[in-house]
């Protein structure tokens, strides 16, 4: 495939401040790439350079085989169109007048409009669903309606490359999805090459074919979402802790922040550092089942405990999904199956190398009774055991009293009992 865009060693500064530094990448015809990065990483500057709004740069920008440094304004406008975050026209234009301005690169002298211009404007207004209010004034429209009109103007330019500069910012979720669906159709049905700057990582991942990740004016990563979007990269680029999993409906990646609750804040000093200096060194194994381990794993992970493990959990259990997303090793068992001898042994191996074992208030049946046996084994091995006893064990026992009996022995042997997750971080520090 031919390249619609080639950027080579692109460097740009504002008043001596370096904004882009040696940026290089290429975009194939018909591709849809999303440019992601924190504020100040150079995303919007990149769009302005490709559209030649900004000019004093070093390096090369080649669009459809032509170096834009040697092209005039109208030539560039026939190659790339820009959909900005928002726009405010200097005059009170009607919608159809505003869209017609997208045809200016093709006008002859005196701005005379041809039949072709009128036909293209009529067509793009139909495709963007703005025909019904085409005679209204632009400034009378809602935010979502205005953005559809701006897109129509860009489409009227009839360019092979479409640049998006945060086009869904400040819009309600319904308008965001509507516009992203439109861009997706333009890309997949009409073959438009789309390069978009986005703040919302999930929107970008759902629709784009490749991701360009910028940090401090440099390319940090470029490729398909699976190779670029991961916890490590998001942490380094955005300085944020996130979970990266799969959207259960689309199968695409999904990024979710790990929110720092009051529990997490209570575990930090004024500078945000963990009060537990040894926290990261402790090896903690959490007994899982029925989603009971998920809030504990998330709390421990967000509080700086990195050496975590979980087991035994059944496949399809949310505890297993949480472990996957956080990158925590786990022991799994087939769905709706009792814990096997092999899985029990793997669970015990995790316990043997752990410093602390945590038992959430899970329900006990004959299928997972081995998890309770493993907790007793942990005490026999001299491990510290913490039990979350938020609900009476009698309410959670489906083994005709067998679990209650063993549970009581575990407490008698010295397990530390807490009544809520709030007490967990303090119990770990004892």
- Chain segment 86-135, per-residue pLDDT in tens: 677 767 899 999 999 999 998 876 667 888 999 999 999 998 999 999 99
Contact 46, 20 (CB under 8 A): yes
Give the pLDDT of residue 117. Answer: 92
Instruction: Please indicate, yes or no, whether the overall pTM of this predicted structure exceeds 0.75.
Output: no
- DSSP-derived letter for residue 268 is B
Contact 184, 191 (CB under 8 A): no
Give the pLDDT of residue 261. Answer: 44
- Chain segment 327-348, per-residue pLDDT in tens: 899 998 887 788 999 999 999 9
How many Cα atoms sit within 13 Å of 145 on the Cβ side? 15
Residue 157: name the closest of 73, 92, 34, 91 by CA. 73
Question: DSSP string covering 239-263, please?
Answer: ---EEEEE-TTT-SEEEEE----HH
Contact 237, 228 (CB under 8 A): no
Specify the higher pLDDT residue, 272 or 44.
Answer: 44
Using pLDDT thresholds of 50, 70 and 90, give the confidence band for residue 263: very low
Question: Which two tokens mark 19?
Answer: 């904004």
Question: Which two tokens mark 335?
Answer: 């769905």
Give the pLDDT of residue 90. Answer: 65
Give the pLDDT of residue 258. Answer: 64
What is the Cα–Cα distance from 301 to 264, expressed in whole angstroms?
Answer: 10
Give the pLDDT of residue 273. Answer: 45
Domains of the chain: 1-79+161-237 (3.40.50.300), 90-158 (no CATH), 263-429 (3.40.50.720)
Describe the crossing of helices 402-412 and 369-380 by its angle, rounded to 10 degrees.
20
Contact 334, 314 (CB under 8 A): yes
Give the pLDDT of residue 310. Answer: 94
**Residue 288 dihedral angles phi and psi, to the nearest 5°:** -110, 175
Q: Kindly give the pairing relationship between strand 17-28 and strand 3-14.
A: antiparallel
Mean pLDDT in residue range 193-208:
91
What is the Cα–Cα distance from 351 to 295, expressed in whole angstroms?
Answer: 20
Give the pLDDT of residue 277. Answer: 43
What is the Cα–Cα distance from 286 to 309, expressed in whole angstroms?
Answer: 6
Specify the higher pLDDT residue, 89 or 272.
Answer: 89
Mean pLDDT in residue range 387-394:
86
Q: How many helices and strands in the chain, by DSSP H and E?
A: 17, 18
Mean pLDDT in residue range 125-152:
91
Contact 285, 356 (CB under 8 A): yes
CA distances from 256 to 1, 247, 326 (A): 35, 11, 11
Residues 6+ apart with CB under 8 A from 48: 54, 165
- The 3-state DSSP class for residue 15 equals coil
Residues 6+ apart with CB under 8 A from 279: 303, 304, 305, 428
User: Residue for token digits 């967000």?
Assistant: 302
């Amino acid at each position: 495939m031919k390249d619609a865009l080639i950027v080579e060693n692109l460097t740009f500064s504002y008043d001596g401040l370096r904004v882009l530094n040696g940026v290089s990448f290429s975009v194939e015809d018909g591709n849809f790439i999303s440019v992601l990065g924190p504020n100040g990483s150079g995303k919007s500057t990149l769009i302005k350079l490709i559209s030649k709004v900004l000019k004093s740069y070093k390096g090369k920008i080649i669009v459809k085989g032509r170096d834009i440094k040697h092209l005039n304004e109208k030539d560039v406008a026939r190659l790339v169109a820009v959909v900005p975050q928002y726009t405010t026209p200097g005059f009170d234009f009607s919608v159809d007048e505003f869209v017609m301005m997208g045809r200016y690169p093709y006008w002859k002298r005196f701005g005379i409009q041809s039949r072709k211009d009128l036909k293209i404007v009529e067509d793009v207004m139909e495709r963007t669903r703005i025909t019904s209010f085409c005679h209204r004034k632009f400034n009378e429209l809602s935010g979502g309606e205005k953005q559809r009109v701006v897109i129509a103007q860009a489409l009227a330019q009839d360019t092979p490359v479409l640049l998006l500069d945060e086009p869904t910012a400040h819009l309600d979720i319904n308008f965001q999805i509507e516009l992203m669906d439109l861009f997706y159709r333009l890309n997949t049905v009409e073959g438009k090459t789309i390069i978009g700057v986005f703040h919302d990582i999930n929107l970008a991942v759902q629709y784009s074919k490749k991701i360009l990740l910028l940090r401090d004016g440099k390319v940090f990563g470029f490729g398909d979402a699976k190779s670029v979007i991961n916890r490590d990269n998001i942490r380094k680029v955005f300085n944020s802790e996130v979970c990266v999993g799969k959207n259960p409906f689309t199968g695409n990646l999904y990024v979710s922040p790990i929110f720092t609750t009051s529990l997490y804040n209570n575990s930090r000093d004024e500078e945000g550092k963990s009060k537990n200096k040894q926290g990261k060194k402790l090896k903690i194994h959490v007994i899982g089942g029925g989603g009971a381990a998920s809030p504990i794993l998330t709390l421990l992970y967000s509080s700086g405990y990195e050496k975590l493990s979980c087991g035994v959990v059944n496949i399809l259990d949310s505890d297993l999904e949480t472990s996957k997303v956080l990158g925590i090793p786990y022991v799994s068992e087939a769905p709706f199956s009792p814990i096997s001898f092999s899985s029990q042994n793997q669970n015990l191996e995790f316990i043997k190398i752990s410093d602390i074992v945590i038992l959430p208030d899970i329900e006990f049946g004959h299928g997972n009774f081995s998890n309770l046996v493993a907790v007793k084994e942990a005490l026999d091995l001299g491990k510290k055991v913490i039990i979350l006893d938020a609900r009476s064990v009698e309410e959670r026992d489906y083994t005709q009293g067998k679990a209650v009996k063993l549970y009581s022995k575990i407490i008698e042997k010295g397990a530390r009992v807490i009544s809520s997750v709030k007490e967990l971080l303090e119990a770990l520090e004892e």
